[in-house]
Amino acid sequence: MSREKPSLWVTISSHTFLLAFGATMLLPFLWMLATSFKGEAEVFERNPIPMATSLGDEGNALRTRDGRALYAVVRGGDGVVTRGEPLSVRLGNPVQEGAKGDRARTPSGENLSDDIGQPVQLGNVLNDSRRLGEWGGLARFRDPRVYVKYAEAVTVDADFAAPGFDTVANEAAAKAWFCERPGRYAGAWERLKQTRFAGRVPLMVTPAMSDAWAPLSGKAEPVMLGGVRVPNRHPHPLTEFYQFKNITWGQPGEPVRDLTLPAALCQGDGIAVRYEAAFPVFRTADDPLKADERSDLAAFVGDEPAPRAVLGSEIALTRQIRLMWSNYETVLTDPNVKMTLFAWNSLFIAVCVVALQVLTCSLAAFAFSRIEWPGRDTIFLLYLGTLMVPGAVTMIPNYLLLQQFGWLNSFFGLIIPAAASAYGTFMLRQYMLTLPKGLEEAARIDGAGLLRVWWDIVLPLCKPAIITLAIFTFSSAWGAFTWPLIIAPDESVRVLPVALKNFSGSQSTAYTLLMAASLIMMLPMLILFIFGQKYFVKGIQLGGVKG
Amino acid sequence: MADIRISKLVKLYDNGYTAVKGIDLHIRDHEFMVLVGPSGCGKTTTLRMIAGLEDISGGEIAIGDRVVNSVEPKDRDIAMVFQNYALYPHMTVYENMAYGLKLRKMPKPEIDAKVAEAARMLSLESQLAKLPKALSGGQRQRVALGRAVVRQPKAFLFDEPLSNLDAKLRGEMRFELKTLQNRLKTTMVYVTHDQIEAMTLGDRITVMSVGEIQQVASPTVVYDHPFNRFVASFIGTPVMNFITGALSRDEDLFRFAIDGGATIGLHMHHRQRLAATLGEGRVLGIRPENLSHAGHVATAASATRVDAKVEVIENMGDHQYVYLRIGGHPDPVVMKCSSHHRCEPGETIPVNLDTSFAHVFADGGEYAPTLTLPDGFQRQQ
């Protein structure tokens, strides 16, 4: 009787159903994959595709719904942002070098001048200020004009006094820097001073500045997460600037952008300097600066010639897919992460466990299946009964036992308890029972002792079962977490799954690095699965899936 | 080269079953000894005890001068060929044959030479690099033979080696085995349930049943002088006819009155031995080839002509088996005759019963002793 072919409708609906389920199963994995390529701030974006906003060319500029390109022309506000609160920044002065007027405008001619100095709503802060500093805030943009924050310059009042400081010379230097070099904001110093620096003058670096004029430094040490330096997002805006070491303390004739003065240098009891924006430092839309952007930035801000960049030109923003391979690079190569050490640890342990388990299980299975001895089947049943004991129950006794052996924090503690398994013995025994007894007898007559029979005849014939066992053992040894976490927390013997925990601290988690590391960890298993599918299936047929 | 001495050998299994009940057997040097018997008669168990694959529950086995009861199989210097070949599936033909030599740490060139020689002898030269699964049944069996031969052991043990082959191959392999034995002149113990193999191959045959030896003798002797009714019925195709009846004597002439039928004269040798046992119920054993169609074959002096009704005819081509009913005898008798001796079912034909090679058995069931054996006839010879 031939089965009727199912109707088209049934085929389509069942396929859809199955595909939907398959996709559901894949989602976590896809999330991992996507996240591993994202920037830190993108992690919780709904958009699964890793994207980055960058300063791009006009042709690829981000556009509003009505087709206008988005430009970064913003100066920041002040205060500390907190999660959930609306975030606003003030528009800076989008002066165009050599322009006809100090008009903030978009390429389409829209005049933004009226907005200068006015707060612009960015949206609600999605993440708190600790991570993002005063200016940022992970906010969803409502206003296409608003984007980035400025780097600051230190500005001084006219009555600023400090040893070796000459107000007049300072202003001359500032004027020279901002207005007198080719391509700069020529001849408009007074206006610039009024609009940009609110009547004050940027503090310029002079050779006379002594060590007492210490650049702000060492105030906010980066946090170590998973061995990676993650900038500490301290609420104080200066700390964030601290990242850009190469521009915090410039050459003579450059503006001072980051300064703290010892009390002795201060007038009164306060610091007589103010920070003001002098240079537009572009941040990507919703992302802290990444290493590669930092170098862009350095070029952008400090290097000659970059006239367009200075003083808040309009720079088109583009948003494109960006895969952060640097996450993988960091995980793999950053000496602080020690990924290679943990991977070697894991590999060493897994290989040892597989080798030992194949050895012990095949020997035990041989004894249980091919040798007659009194009480054999009873003992085998007892052996098998241990499969019913949950691993969590034996964890504490095992721990105490290993403590007595002095095997805590050693490879012994990780390898020896896993060197034999009832499951493996059972699986191999069942397989060996299917081998014809004649082969073994022939070998014994040919001159083989028991060990020879085991090695020459039984082992080669059990190859499929042994490969299956090896694959399953490897996968469980490679992925073991609880036991290694308990028994060997030391870095020297730490394994990958435990090491993954390093990427999350009490305050925050480096999700991107965590996911990249997790994927790297999955890779061997994935390869094993692809090439050993047959044996995975076989293993399930032979003795059920290992619990 | 060695003989094998078995004395009081017992095999008692854990479940209480006694497979071998204290047998004594001497397998001579260079002899081809066939152990034959129905399933469960203990022949294979005996062989496996000789090989060392089964523990010995009682008695003793000696190969050559050495008692091997507690000697490991590998140290007994024997080779065995198994029913299912037992070739190592993961080794090539060469490796299969060389394995035993390798384990004995023989130098490689020597191994090569021995394997090459055995391969030539068994025409396996072109198969050496193949895996067993690429070979036919006959070739596999030859590899198994080769594996035994290269070792040059004191004795070969064969455990129904031909039973997995088809009829034609079996014939060929029988021939090869015979040739091999002629060439090697080694002690061979061969277990089979096939009496044709037993008859054709054996220098001597050991007929076993229910764990006991029924008779040990050359094929001719076993055929001509079965020690008891079991041996008589086991050896020979078709099976010997057993006719019940009563024995009487008229001077020198012994007569046998078939139950429900005619009375015939007995002309076998040693019939004088029947004199002591007249009057009791007896069984006459007569082989089908000693019956003939009297319409086609003249009645010899040693034969009696009786009428019989044809019931069934089995035509084998050159000859046929005719199932006949003699008078009211409860069992039919089988006649083996030329297929040209035509007859039809239902027809009554005259039949010659030639009793010169017939036997008379006591009426004691399956193992009833033969009464017409020569004087001093031994169960084992």
Of residues A286 and A112, more confidently modeled? A112
Closest-CA distance, B261 to chain A, in angstroms, reads 54
pTM of the model: 0.65
What CATH number belongs to B239-362? 2.40.50.140
Give the chain A residue whose CA is nearest to the CA of B50: A445
DSSP β-bridge partners for residue B35: B191, B206
Q: If you average pLDDT over residues A504-527, what whole number do you get?
A: 84
CA-derived radius of gyration, chain B: 24
Report the DSSP pairing between strands B359-362 and B348-354.
Answer: unpaired
Whole-number pLDDT of residue B67: 92
Report the share of chain A in percent with pLDDT over 70: 52
Closest-CA distance, B174 to chain A, in angstroms, reads 22
The backbone region for A98, taken as left when phi is positive above 0, alpha when psi lies in -120 to 50, beta otherwise, is left
Per-residue pLDDT of A381-395, as tens digits, reads: 998 888 888 888 888
Q: Is the CB of residue A67 less than 8 Å away from at least one CB of chain B?
A: no
Whole-number pLDDT of residue A56: 46
Per-residue pLDDT of B266-321, as tens digits, reads: 888 888 888 777 766 688 999 999 999 988 888 888 888 899 999 999 998 889 99
Closest-CA distance, A9 to chain B, in angstroms, reads 47
Q: Do A446 and B86 touch (CB under 8 A)?
A: no
Environment class of residue B211 by beta-carbon count within 10 Å: exposed (0-12), middle (13-18) or buried (19+)? Answer: buried
Which pLDDT band, with edges at 50, 70 and 90, does A370 fall under?
confident
Q: Do B104 and A447 touch (CB under 8 A)?
A: yes
Q: If you average pLDDT over residues A268-273, what whole number do you get?
A: 31
Q: Do A436 and B86 touch (CB under 8 A)?
A: yes
Whole-number pLDDT of residue A57: 53
Number of domains in chain A: 3
Q: If you average pLDDT over residues B189-216, what whole number do you get?
A: 92
Q: Is the CB of residue B72 less than 8 Å away from at least one CB of chain A?
A: yes
User: Are residues A305 and A392 both part of a single domain?
Assistant: no
Interface test with B, best of A377, A435, A440, A445 (most B CBs within 10 A): A445
- Residue A137 counted as domain residue: yes
Q: Is the pLDDT of residue A470 over 50?
A: yes
Give the chain A residue whose CA is nearest to the CA of B103: A447
User: Are residues A351 and A464 both part of a single domain?
Assistant: yes
Give the chain B residue whose CA is nearest to the CA of A441: B53
Stretch 448-477 of chain A: residues touching chain B, C-beta under 8 Å: 448-449, 452, 456-457, 460-461, 463
Which pLDDT band, with edges at 50, 70 and 90, does A93 fall under?
very low
Whole-number pLDDT of residue B85: 86
Q: Specify the range with the lowest mean pLDDT, choosing from A424-433, A499-508, B110-119, B204-213.
A: A499-508
Q: Specify the range with the lowest mean pLDDT, choosing from A2-16, A300-314, B109-123, B245-259.
A: A300-314
Q: Is the pLDDT of residue A72 over 80?
A: no
User: Are residues A137 and A211 both part of a single domain?
Assistant: yes
Per-residue pLDDT of A187-225, as tens digits, reads: 567 776 776 666 778 777 776 665 555 544 333 344 444
Q: Do A447 and B51 touch (CB under 8 A)?
A: no
Closest-CA distance, A442 to chain B, in angstroms, reads 6
Q: Is the CB of residue B104 less than 8 Å away from at least one CB of chain A?
A: yes
Of residues B4 and B1, more confidently modeled? B4
Helix (H, G, I), strand (E, B) or coil at A256: coil
Closest-CA distance, A41 to chain B, in angstroms, reads 58
Per-residue pLDDT of B162-189, as tens digits, reads: 888 888 888 888 888 888 888 888 899 9
State the virtual CA torsion across B55, B56, B62, B66 in degrees, nearest 10: 60
- Residue A374 counted as domain residue: yes
Give the chain A residue whose CA is nearest to the CA of B101: A446
A7-41: b (≥16 Cβ within 10 Å) or e = eeeeeeeeeeeeeeeeeeeeeeeeebbbbbbbbbb
- Residue A350 counted as domain residue: yes
Q: Is the separation of the CB atoms in A350 and A477 below 8 Å?
A: yes
Domain boundary among A278, A298, A323: A323
Q: Is the pLDDT of residue B13 over 50?
A: yes
Whole-number pLDDT of residue A150: 32
Q: If you average pLDDT over residues A285-291, what whole number do you get?
A: 37
Give the C-alpha separation, A34 to A25, whole Å: 15
Whole-number pLDDT of residue B43: 92
Q: How many CB atoms lie within 10 A of CB A310?
A: 22
User: Are residues A268 and A354 both part of a single domain?
Assistant: no
Range of the domain at A344: 333-543
Whole-number pLDDT of residue A252: 67
Per-residue pLDDT of A165-179, as tens digits, reads: 788 888 888 888 777
Tokens for A194, please give them: 């009024």
Query: Cα–Cα–Cα angle for A292, A295, A299, nearest 5°?
Result: 140
Interface test with B, best of A377, A446, A453 (most B CBs within 10 A): A446
Closest-CA distance, B182 to chain A, in angstroms, reads 23
Indicate the fold that domain B4-233 takes in CATH. Rossmann fold (3.40.50)
- Residue A2 counted as domain residue: no
Q: Is the pLDDT of residue B222 over 50?
A: yes
- Residue A482 counted as domain residue: yes
Q: Which chain A residues are closer than 8 Å to B103 by Cβ?
A: 446-448, 452
Q: Is the pLDDT of residue A92 over 60?
A: no
User: Are residues A343 and A296 both part of a single domain?
Assistant: no
Whole-number pLDDT of residue B279: 66
User: Are residues A193 and A151 both part of a single domain?
Assistant: yes
User: Are residues A104 and A21 both part of a single domain?
Assistant: no
Helix (H, G, I), strand (E, B) or coil at A363: helix
Q: Nearest Cβ partner of A445 from B74, B83, B87?
A: B74
Whole-number pLDDT of residue B252: 76
User: Are residues A18 and A46 both part of a single domain?
Assistant: no
Closest-CA distance, A524 to chain B, in angstroms, reads 29
User: Are residues A274 and A366 both part of a single domain?
Assistant: no
Whole-number pLDDT of residue B16: 87
Give the chain A residue whose CA is nearest to the CA of B78: A445
Mean pLDDT of chain A: 66
Q: Is the pLDDT of residue B256 over 80?
A: yes
Give the chain B residue whose CA is nearest to the CA of A440: B86
Q: If you average pLDDT over residues A136-145, what whole number do you get?
A: 30
Interface test with A, best of B54, B68, B80 (most A CBs within 10 A): B80
Q: Is the pLDDT of residue B70 over 70?
A: yes
Q: Is the pLDDT of residue B262 over 50?
A: yes
Q: Which chain A residues are closer than 8 Å to B88 by Cβ?
A: 439, 442-443, 456-457
Q: Is the CB of residue B300 less than 8 Å away from at least one CB of chain A?
A: no
Count CA atoms within 13 Å of residue A65 on its CB side.
Answer: 3
Whole-number pLDDT of residue B36: 93
Environment class of residue A129 by beta-carbon count within 10 Å: exposed (0-12), middle (13-18) or buried (19+)? Answer: buried
ipTM value, please give it. Answer: 0.83
Q: Is the separation of the CB atoms in A466 and A459 below 8 Å?
A: yes
- Whether a cis peptide bond, with omega within 30° of 0, leads into A305 is yes
Q: Is the CB of residue A374 less than 8 Å away from at least one CB of chain B?
A: no
Q: Is the separation of the CB atoms in B179 and B23 below 8 Å?
A: no
| C-alpha torsion sign, points B266, B267, B271, B275 | positive
Q: Do B99 and A452 touch (CB under 8 A)?
A: no
Q: Specify the range with the lowest mean pLDDT, choosing from A65-74, A98-107, B76-85, B90-99.
A: A98-107
Give the C-alpha separation, A23 to A17, whole Å: 10
Mean pLDDT of chain B: 89
DSSP β-bridge partners for residue B62: B5, B67
Identify residue A183 by its one-letter amino acid code: G
Helix (H, G, I), strand (E, B) or coil at B279: coil
Whole-number pLDDT of residue A85: 47
Q: Do A444 and B88 touch (CB under 8 A)?
A: no
Identify residue A491 by its one-letter amino acid code: E
Q: Is the CB of residue B52 less than 8 Å away from at least one CB of chain A?
A: yes
Tokens for A256, please give them: 């001072």
Report the share of chain B in percent with pLDDT over 70: 99
Give the chain A residue whose CA is nearest to the CA of B156: A445
Q: Specify the range with the lowest mean pLDDT, choosing from A70-79, A246-255, A303-312.
A: A303-312
CA distances from B368 to A147, B214, B229 (A): 115, 11, 5
Q: Nearest Cβ partner of A444 from B73, B85, B88?
A: B73
Size of interface A-B (CB pairs under 8 A): 62
Q: Is the CB of residue A438 less than 8 Å away from at least one CB of chain B?
A: yes
Report the share of chain A in percent with pLDDT over 90: 13
Domain boundary among A259, A294, A323: A323
User: Are residues A317 and A340 both part of a single domain?
Assistant: no
- Residue A1 counted as domain residue: no
Q: Specify the range with the lowest mean pLDDT, choosing from A160-164, A241-245, A342-346.
A: A241-245
Q: Is the pLDDT of residue B366 over 70?
A: yes
Q: Is the CB of residue B100 less than 8 Å away from at least one CB of chain A?
A: yes
Whole-number pLDDT of residue A146: 30
- Residue A70 counted as domain residue: yes
Whole-number pLDDT of residue A135: 30
Place of tokens 């096939």: B194
DSSP β-bridge partners for residue B248: B255
DSSP class of A390: -
Whole-number pLDDT of residue A305: 26
Per-residue pLDDT of B328-357, as tens digits, reads: 888 899 999 998 888 889 889 999 999 888
Q: Nearest Cβ partner of B88 from A439, A444, A463?
A: A439
DSSP codes of every residue in A175-244: HIIIIISTTS-TT-HHHHHHHHHTT-EE-B--TT--TTSPBS-SSSPPEEETTEEE----SSHHHHHTT-
Closest-CA distance, A364 to chain B, in angstroms, reads 21
Domain boundaries, chain B: 4-233, 239-362
A63-93: b (≥16 Cβ within 10 Å) or e = eeeeebbbbbbbbbbeeebeeeeebbbbbbb
- Residue A3 counted as domain residue: no
